[in-house]
Amino acid sequence: MGFPARLVTLAGLVLLAHAGYSAQEHAALSSTLVNLQLSAKTLPLDISIETIVATLLVSLGLIWGSPQLRPIQWHVWAGKIEREGIAGSASQGKEAEKNFQGNPFNALEFRSGFVDIRKQRRDFADWAKSGK
Amino acid sequence: MSSSEQELQIHPIVQESVVHNAKTLSNFHSLTASLFGVTAGILGLESYAGFLLYLVLSVITTLLFYVIQVAPASLAEKKPLFDTTRFFKGALDFWTGGLFSGLSGFVLTWTLFYGLVRV
């Protein structure tokens, strides 16, 4: 979750808390001051607007801050990893970096070649002889 | 071999990505459903009006989710508008899945905040 997304979510939550407090105060006041003809049922327009705006802000922050989706089709997913490597997931933060599994074709690309066992044996024999 | 099986063999699907995407979406839906409950409670809505608010807000946030999370990569791949096949298996799952899973959380916080604000 990036910092701006967190900030938006936090601002929305503060607004929502304020709207809730205002609504509660309004309800408490209008129930005691019956003679002022305030009805407890209808909320003032500004509180309603604040509530709706706060809700939209929080959900915007949540969407913005939710982890990036990954392609589900194998060829798209593998192609993306191969093209971007670790840099592609590093830009998505710590969580994605932890989940990074590397190039799915690594086993094919870094296959070790055949070992020349006879040459190694000869080298060892030479080394053993020279040691004497 | 059935045709859908054959399709899967030709275009395999990364199960981990499917799980990751579904988890991201359901997390988001359960969080926002409780949030909408707070909103409905503060607004003091009753009966059908509350559910209507839930429906409207859910549609708006799902659209927002599509626009922010799905659309940039999906449209860059030349997929048609409102097509979610890059990230989700079923289109219906994406558009309506959160509506039912979040309903109980919505009612829970709705009643809680209605009581907190008005009693």
Mind listing the pLDDT tens digit for each residue in A68-78? 888 888 777 77
Asked whether residue A57 falls in the same domain as residue A78, the answer is: no
Largest CA distance in chain A: 115
Per-residue pLDDT reduced to its tens digit, A23-34? 888 888 877 766
Tell me whether residues B87 and A56 touch, CB distance under 8 A.
no
Residues A59 and A4 in one domain: yes
Same domain? For A51 and A99 the reply is: no
**Is pLDDT at A90 greater than 80 in this prediction?**
no
Report d(CA A52, CA A72) in Å as an integer. Answer: 35
pLDDT tens digit sequence for A47-63:
889 999 999 999 999 98
Tell me which amino acid residue B19 is.
V
Residues of B in contact with A54 (CB under 8 A): 39
Return the residue matching tokens 């979510």: A9
- Of chain B, the percentage scoring pLDDT greater than 70 comes to 99
Identify the domain boundary among A66, A92, A123: A66
Q: Same domain for A4 and A51? A: yes
Distance between CA atoms of A126 and A10, rounded to whole angstroms? Answer: 73
Q: Is the ipTM, as predicted for this complex, more than 0.90? A: no
Q: What is the pLDDT of residue B7?
A: 77
Q: Do A59 and A97 fall within a single domain?
A: no
- Is residue A81 located within the same domain as residue A60? no
* A 104-123 → B contacts, CB under 8 A: none
How far is residue A49 from each of residues A3, A15, A45, B42, measured CA to CA in Å? 26, 11, 6, 11
Number of domains into which chain A is organized: 2
Q: Between the CA of residue A23 and those of A5, A12, B108, what are the distances in Å?
A: 27, 16, 19
Q: Is residue B99 within 8 Å of B50, Cβ to Cβ?
A: no
Kindly state whether residues A14 and A56 are assigned to the same domain. yes
Domain residue limits, chain B: 15-118
The distance in angstroms from the start CA to the end CA of chain B is 63
**Residue A126 counted as domain residue:** no
CB contact (8 A) between residue A73 and residue B86: yes
Give yes or no for a contact between A109 and A81, defined as CB atoms under 8 angstroms apart: no
Residues A92 and A35 occupy one common structural domain:
no
Half-sphere exposure of B62 (CA within 13 A, CB side): 22
Q: What is the pLDDT of residues B23-79, one digit of tens each?
A: 888 888 899 999 999 999 998 888 898 899 999 999 999 888 888 888 777 777 777
Cβ <8 Å between B44 and A41 = yes
Q: Whole domain around residue A15: which residue ranges?
A: 1-66
Q: Is A121 part of a structural domain of the chain?
A: no
Whole-angstrom CA distances from A45 to A19, A50, B78 are: 11, 9, 44
Residues A43 and A26 in one domain: yes
In a domain, A117, yes or no: no
Return residues 35-74 of B near A (CB < 8 Å).
35-36, 38-39, 42-44, 57, 60-61, 64-65, 68-70, 73
pLDDT category at B86 given cuts 50, 70, 90 is: confident
Q: If we measure between CA atoms, which residue out of A125, A113, A87, A58 comes closest to residue B32?
A: A58
